[in-house]
């Protein structure tokens, strides 16, 4: 006959075993945060710089329509 051992959960908030998953999730979240900051730094720098606009000295505008 098979013996079934049913272990009830703890009631005082303790967990069985180590808390390695919490440390791993902290490292993953910290890495994701650093990656986001690393990607956003160039975007923020470009947003505060003045735009580069090149205006030609002479603009040739032909206002006469060709005859058909």
Q: Are 36 and 29 in contact (CB under 8 A)?
A: no
Tokens of 49: 């710089």
Q: What is the DSSP letter of 15?
A: -
Residue positions counted in the chain: 68
Residue 65 has pLDDT above 70, yes or no: yes
Confidence (pLDDT) at 13: 60
3-46 pLDDT, tens digit each: 888 887 766 666 555 678 888 999 999 999 999 999 999 888 88
Domains of the chain, residue spans = 21-47
Say if residues 16 and 10 touch (Cβ distance below 8 Å): yes
* Residue of 25, 45, 27, 48 whose CA lies nearest to 37: 45
């Amino acid at each position: 006959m098979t013996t079934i051992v049913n272990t009830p959960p703890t009631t005082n908030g303790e967990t069985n075993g180590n808390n390695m998953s919490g440390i791993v999730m902290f490292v993953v979240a910290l890495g994701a945060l650093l990656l986001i900051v690393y990607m956003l730094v160039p975007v923020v720098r470009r947003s505060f710089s003045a735009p580069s606009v090149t205006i030609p000295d002479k603009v040739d505008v032909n206002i006469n329509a060709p005859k058909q």
